[in-house]
Chains A and B, each alone.
Chain A
Amino acid sequence: AQTVTQSQPEMSVQEAETVTLSCTYDTSESDYYLFWYKQPPSRQMILVIRQEAYKQQNATENRFSVNFQKAAKSFSLKISDSQLGDAAMYFCAFTIRGNKLVFGAGTILRVKS
């Protein structure tokens, strides 16, 4: 079965500090792609960052970076210098053999000023 587990239903971070959101997944495939999506209160889902499973180097996008551990099937998201605009629901997801996405349950991130 293809599954994604996000073990933290909610997280809080102080503005300007760093937070890490956890994600583990399960697949028997060797070639796949991993994504983090952000859903702010406005509801539109936005791509945050993506990682190819065959690449060992961790992806980074400005203040967002991932820690990809393929053997452990772990794909955590680190947000540095957190901003109020980072407050949202974050979803971890992956695709295999085509473009079907398998999503986790999501983590609500609250940013305190």
Chain B
Amino acid sequence: DVKVTQSSRYLVKRTGEKVFLECVQDMDHENMFWYRQDPGLGLRLIYFSYDVKMKEKGDIPEGYSVSREKKERFSLILESASTNQTSMYLCASGRSGNGNQPQHFGDGTRLSIL
């Protein structure tokens, strides 16, 4: 089974802190994604990566950056955390293709910024 592991299930940080969310997948997938999930808004794509050291902005990249130094690891960085970044963050991975490949998700990190 594909396993996508997110480093923390719950995280509490203070405004202005630099926050790192880590994600590791064990299936050699080319693609990795970071989403933010908010009630009534579904999942919104923050950033994604099709290959090592490659990244592309999603729909809501402001206030975030990412790093993919190794194929299996994709990190989301909140450069200076703000209260409006309190949310559930989901990481996903999937094979490259023509859009028919399903994504596999981690358990999510519930992040609170105080």
Name A residues whose Cβ lies closer than 8 Å to a Cβ of B: 4, 6, 9, 31-33, 35, 37, 42-47, 50, 52, 91, 93, 95-101, 103-106
The complex places the Cα of A37 from the Cα of B42 at a distance, in Å, of: 11
The complex places the Cα of A32 from the Cα of B100 at a distance, in Å, of: 8
Chain A residues near B40 (CB, 8 Å)? 9, 105
Q: Mark B35-54, 1 if CB is under 8 A from A, else 0.
A: 10000111111001010000
Interface size class for chain B?
20 to 34
The complex places the Cα of A99 from the Cα of B98 at a distance, in Å, of: 7
| The 7 A-B residue pairs with the shortest CB-CB distance in the complex, in nearest-first order | A95-B99, A45-B105, A103-B42, A103-B43, A105-B42, A47-B102, A43-B108
Chain B residues near A91 (CB, 8 Å)? 42-43
Grouping DSSP codes into helix (H, G, I), strand (E, B) and loop, the A interface class, with mixed when no group exceeds half, is loop
Chain A residues near B96 (CB, 8 Å)? 98-99
Whose C-beta in chain A lies nearest to the C-beta of B9?
A43
A sample of 26 cross-chain residue pairs with beta-carbon separation below 8 angstroms, ordered by A number, consists of: A6-B42, A31-B98, A31-B99, A37-B105, A43-B108, A44-B105, A44-B106, A44-B107, A44-B108, A45-B105, A46-B105, A47-B102, A50-B100, A50-B102, A91-B42, A96-B99, A97-B98, A97-B99, A99-B31, A99-B99, A99-B103, A100-B58, A101-B43, A103-B43, A105-B40, A105-B42
Q: How far is the CB of A113 from chain B (nearest CB, A)?
A: 26
Chain B 62-114 residues near chain A, CB threshold 8 A: 88, 90, 92, 94-103, 105-108
